[in-house]
Amino acid sequence: MKNFLMAGIVGLTTFGSVAFAQTPSVTDAEFVTKASVGNTFEVEEAKIALQQASDAKLKQFAQKMIDDHTDAEKKLATAAGKAGDQPQTTLDQPHQAMLDNLKTFNGTDFDKIYIADQIAAHDETVNLLSDYKQNGQNNDLKSWADDSLTVVKGHKAMIDAM
């Protein structure tokens, strides 16, 4: 239970803010980094879920996360390269803490934490992409954000339904 509460606290402190500014809340480089960390997090958690989830639907969801976020990262690298930026392929501390926490669970407890992490991560990503799509400065990155937003909203609907 302690680890479950920790996951919730990390999730709230990491993913709790929503951007409604008229100017981008992040620079192009910060957007690329945050988007890339998000993609990496999705893939890394999904790899664990393929091994440890008890629910077959979660394993199917996890495989979709691997496929879609690997594709998104490739497209982000192209758009970022045009903008003169490079995606980050390592996790930041809050995402690494969530990943490390997830590894400590099995069975239905794992499923609950994975779902909670995925809801938080997809909320954060929808907010990031929406903000950049509306307020970002680089057209290639804005186009990537717009394309990705549709996919991420689909992921969010899937995980919200589990």
120 within domain boundaries: yes
127 within domain boundaries: yes
Rounded distance between C-alpha atoms, residue 83 and residue 92, angstroms: 22
Tell me, what's the pLDDT at 85? 86
**The whole model's pTM is what?**
0.82
24 within domain boundaries: no
30 within domain boundaries: no
Tell me, what's the pLDDT at 8? 43
Tokens read off for 35: 């988007």
35 within domain boundaries: no
68 within domain boundaries: yes
**DSSP letters along the chain, please?**
-HHHHHHHHHHHHHH------SS-SS-HHHHHHHHHHHHHHHHHHHHHHHHH-S-HHHHHHHHHHHHHHHHHHHHHHHHHHHHT-----S--HHHHHHHHHHTT--HHHHHHHHHHHHHHHHHHHHHHHHHHHHH-S-HHHHHHHHHHHHHHHHHHHHHHT-
Residues of the chain with pLDDT under 50: 1-21
34 within domain boundaries: no
How many structural domains are present in the chain?
1
Tell me, what's the pLDDT at 23? 59
Which CATH number covers residue 140?
Answer: 1.20.1260.10
Name the residue range of residue 124's domain. Answer: 41-160
9 within domain boundaries: no
